[in-house]
Amino acid sequence: MKRFFFTSESVSEGHPDKLCDQISDAVLDACLEVDRHSRVACETFSSTSLVLVGGELSTTAQIDVKKIVRKVAKDIGYTNPDYGLDYQSMTVMDMIHSQSPDISQGVCGTGLPEYHGQQGAGDQGMMFGFACDETPELMPLPLMLAHRLLRLAAELRKNGTIHWLRPDAKAQITVEYEGYKPLRIDAVVVSHQHDPDKSYEEIAETIKNKIIKPILEPTGLLDSETKYFINPTGRFVIGGPFGDAGLTGRKIIVDTYGGMGRHGGGAFSGKDPTKVDRSAAYMARYLAKNVIAAGFATRCELQLAYAIGVPFPVSVMIDTFGTGTVVEAAIVKAVKKVFDLSPAGIIATLDLCKPIYQKTAVYGHFGRSDCPWEQTDKATALQAAL
């Protein structure tokens, strides 16, 4: 079987792009908490001592955008002007306006006569879902390991165990495969922002022994040939929005499958569930997981495609990469029989009009046990449909 190396990365909650994703989703959650029918398309930009929030918003909720922004920054750990962003002193600009009526009429079912009264997709586009049996979460191994490294780093930073860590960080894992089986971890890259008074030797030793080894040694995939690259520039003091501007939606591969599965191109954060960029991608993940759980394949990618204002997908595709036990066309028929793939059906099936989104904006939207699209409760129904 073919041997190859595959790499995935994750970024921390303090990464400038992830700061923006979390703010956009915090605004969405604040609206949904009051008004389940809120329409939100929120975009955030961050730079040195500045956060700008813009986009479209139609809701009955009265929200304090500036208060939301400062709370997100504080919770992440931007509490010191030396970090380049301080939740108390930073400038926050609110540039949000109402949703376009042209978009609204398609979503509300007041557009073309043939779809009158039916909720249509909020935009055109294609969305992908992916699942594989490499991990208990049915996710690609390199991405899940990178997420776990940064989750642990954030925990140790916030509880004071490694008090000199700062909020910004990245991790990258390279796994050697034989076919679709992970054989070993070939390379580990961790770049973590830190206080200026720490030596490189202390930083590298601490990150390796307290962050990398506790996560990766239990996998049994480290060996004498594994390479480690820890803060490879030698210094990472300037970070966050001071080191690089941040923007909502720039980490879509981190958000999904680490490059292992395809991506339709649309970002998730800041978008309410009428936007199929988000809701249909969640549904596609739900479908792919249930195909695996039903025993139809060990690897599955599923594509849904929509047209704006149209209340059903214009296409459904499934690829099992040669691992299928059932003909793919038969799986597609079963999926269409078991699942309601209309925009309204997706929202109802996954109960998406709840304030559940801010937590998804860091460490990936998939592979999480606390999200409805991660259930495998339809596996038996798929089996029966065949």
Taking residue 72's Cβ as centre, other Cβ atoms within 10 Å add up to 25
Please tell me the distance from the alpha carbon of residue 369 to that of residue 359, in angstroms, as a whole number. Answer: 12
Is 18 a catalytic site residue? yes
How far is the CA of 80 from the CAs of 72, 73, 85, 86, 168, in angstroms?
14, 11, 7, 5, 13
The catalytically annotated residue of 9, 25, 43, 137 is: 43
The catalytically annotated residue of 245, 305, 344, 385 is: 245
Is 2 a catalytic site residue? no
- β-pairing verdict for 315-319 and 299-306: antiparallel
The catalytically annotated residue of 25, 272, 277, 319 is: 277
Please tell me the distance from the alpha carbon of residue 80 to that of residue 87, in angstroms, as a whole number. Answer: 8
Residue 306 and residue 123 in contact, taking contact as beta carbons nearer than 8 Å:
yes
- Nearest 5 degrees, angle CA 18-CA 42-CA 127? 75
Q: Which residues contact 19 (CB under 8 A, 6 or more apart)?
A: 13, 44, 46, 51, 72, 73, 76, 78, 85, 240, 241, 246
The catalytically annotated residue of 70, 148, 166, 271 is: 271
The catalytically annotated residue of 13, 25, 56, 123 is: 56
The catalytically annotated residue of 45, 130, 236, 366 is: 236
Is 56 a catalytic site residue? yes
Is 236 a catalytic site residue? yes
The catalytically annotated residue of 9, 17, 25, 374 is: 17
The catalytically annotated residue of 157, 251, 289, 365 is: 251
The catalytically annotated residue of 75, 133, 244, 340 is: 244
Is 15 a catalytic site residue? yes
The catalytically annotated residue of 13, 15, 296, 319 is: 15
Please name which of 277, 353, 357 lies closest in space to residue 37, comparing C-alpha atoms.
353
Residue 166 and residue 150 in contact, taking contact as beta carbons nearer than 8 Å:
no
Per the structure block, which two tokens stand in for 269?
């954060």
Is 227 a catalytic site residue? no
Is 195 a catalytic site residue? no
The catalytically annotated residue of 148, 157, 250, 278 is: 250
Is 245 a catalytic site residue? yes
Residue 185 identity (one-letter amino acid): I
The catalytically annotated residue of 70, 147, 170, 365 is: 170
Is 210 a catalytic site residue? no
The catalytically annotated residue of 166, 275, 278, 289 is: 275
The catalytically annotated residue of 6, 9, 13, 18 is: 18
Is 272 a catalytic site residue? no
Active centre residues (catalytic): 15, 17-18, 43, 56, 170, 236, 244-245, 250-251, 271, 275, 277
